[in-house]
A = this chain, B = another copy of it.
Amino acid sequence: MEEMTLIFGHKNPDTDSICSSLVHEILDKKNGWKNTKAVRLGNVNKETQFVLDYLGIEAPELIEDVKEGQTVLLVDHNEFAQSANGIEKAKILGVTDHHRIANFETSEPLYYTAKPYGCTATILFEDFKRLGHEIEKKEAVLMLSAIISDTLLFKSPTCTKYDIAACEELAKIANIDINTYGLDMLKAGTDLSDFTPEELINIDSKEFANGDYKFQVAQVNTACIEDVLQNKEAIETAMNNFMKENGSNMFVLLITDIINSNSQAIVLGDTLTFEKAFSKTVQNNMAFLEGVVSRKKQVAPIILNVL
């Protein structure tokens, strides 16, 4: 049997990473490419589980690392630090992504499709159109869920007209009311009651690097910031432990209010860099970031620019 080519999104997968992997596999099959398989690099979060339950489908298989020479397709990320262990020795055949390109390298030419959109699934939606393939209900729900998740129901500054147009067309195919379904889905993701502090800071956490400088930006969505802050001390202990274990210079946890579109940041480690980046004083390890909901557009590049 021919070796399977694995499709996966980033570590600590969010809804776009899981849904876009599954959609990529569906698209490959429609293109006659039978031996690709969606997998995942971490636990399915509650928001994504809501989507899988809605469709009555299973999550992709969990993997932790890839072997030397394994053929892979990346979605929703490219930086090796966010990818599978062993990615440096894998054979990357293609990437579909909507992030900046950095800390990424191949020794051979490959397929790479990036667009500065709000969501990877919007790029895949355009691939369906371009290739003339019919979009069925299952992939329509997967793609619209990813778009709603990444754009926080179109409220994120990363959201483009292409994301909105795709989501509206997909909602018709899926016969779904975007607002009703979207709020239910986002709220499912804000139920943090089951998480230990260690788990909470890992729900959606990404490492960024500039030379030897490493920092972590984690994000949790909530309908009430105060609820999350009740555990502030325990969360800070978990963040400090993470930094020690991983040699991070700074850890930023964004607690994002999805109703009002603001974030409370908890900042530990090199707070000076954070203060320079945002022209804000960190008090009691916290800074309130008004109108900030996007790690990719409103947090990571601001910090990278001052480094």
* Chain A residues packing against B (C-beta within 8 Å): 98-117, 130, 296, 301, 304-305
Contacts and interface: CB of A to CB of B under 8 A. Distances in A.
A95 B117 CA distance: 16
Contacts of A112: 101, 112-114
B114 A111 contact: yes
A301 to B, nearest CB: 5
A171 to B, nearest CB: 24
Contact of A110 (B101, B104, B110, B301): B101
> Which label, helix, strand, loop or mixed, suits the secondary structure of the A interface?
loop
Contacts of A100: 105-110
A101 B106 contact: yes
B109 A116 contact: yes
A111 B116 contact: yes
Nearest to A116: B109
Contacts of A305: 107
Given A100-B108, A101-B112, A109-B116, 11 more contacts: A100-B107, A100-B110, A101-B104, A101-B105, A103-B105, A107-B301, A108-B301, A110-B114, A111-B116, A112-B114, A113-B114
Nearest to A305: B107
A305 B192 CA distance: 46
Nearest to A302: B107
A266 to B, nearest CB: 24
Contacts of A99: 109
A107 B208 CA distance: 11
A112 B102 CA distance: 13
Nearest to A93: B116
Contacts of A106: 100-102
